[in-house]
Amino acid sequence: MVAVPDSHALVLFAGAAIAILLIPGPAVLYIVSQSAEHGRRAGLVSVAGVHLGTLVHVAAATVGLSAIIVSSAIAFSVVKYAGAAYLIYVGIRRLLTREPSELLAPRDAPLAGLFTQGVVVNVLNPKTALFFLAFLPQFVDPSRTVWTQVIVLGLTFVVLGFITDGLYALTAGSLARWLKQRRRFLRYASGSVFVGLGMSAALAKRT
């Protein structure tokens, strides 16, 4: 029988995933800027590219985390604390530094180019990689088949990402102006969330 996460773990994971997906990071800024600059279709194409990039992280987590989780408690702890420390570092850096300028593509960029850029943006997005490394292991039962649980959790993240990022793309015109007007507030809010996520990951216990 294929091992999947239990319903309680899946609900908790979905809540954590939504929390981090809603934080405006590199992928969201990319999607918002493309949708505001080129229209909703371009924004949705960017969403598709971003989450093809997410599937790369899912594949890496399926291979890497499966090996780590079943190997030893020490290896698991090293990954957990390293991921937690980096999440806290990202949060503190976000609190102390100014928001970078939005990622904008050329005005007449073709949809294929936007899709490809979306893939690259999320493959290289540390927020996505660290979410899988720091949080996904907390929802996996190491006494059951690990890789199938990782795939289910990863695909759940992708589906939720399509929904939340799609909403960003569809409302990008007004959202882009709102982000510009409230850039400082969003920087403090997202930085605080990253620090909180890092502390939660550090305190989480192995199943």
DSSP secondary structure of 43-79? HHHHHHHHHHHHHHHHHHHHHHHHHHHHH-HHHHHHH
What burial class does residue 154 get, using C-beta atoms within 10 Å of its C-beta: 0-12 exposed, 13-18 middle, 19+ buried? buried
User: What percent of the chain shows pLDDT beyond 70?
Assistant: 70
Residue 45 has pLDDT above 90, yes or no: yes
Q: What is the mean pLDDT of residues 144-169?
A: 90
Residue 107 in 3-state DSSP?
A: coil
User: What percent of the chain shows pLDDT beyond 90?
Assistant: 14
Residue 104 has pLDDT above 90, yes or no: no
Tens of pLDDT, residue by residue over 115-152, are 988 888 787 776 677 677 777 777 888 788 878 888 99
User: How much is the pTM?
Assistant: 0.66
Whole-number Å distance between alpha carbons of 138 and 115: 32
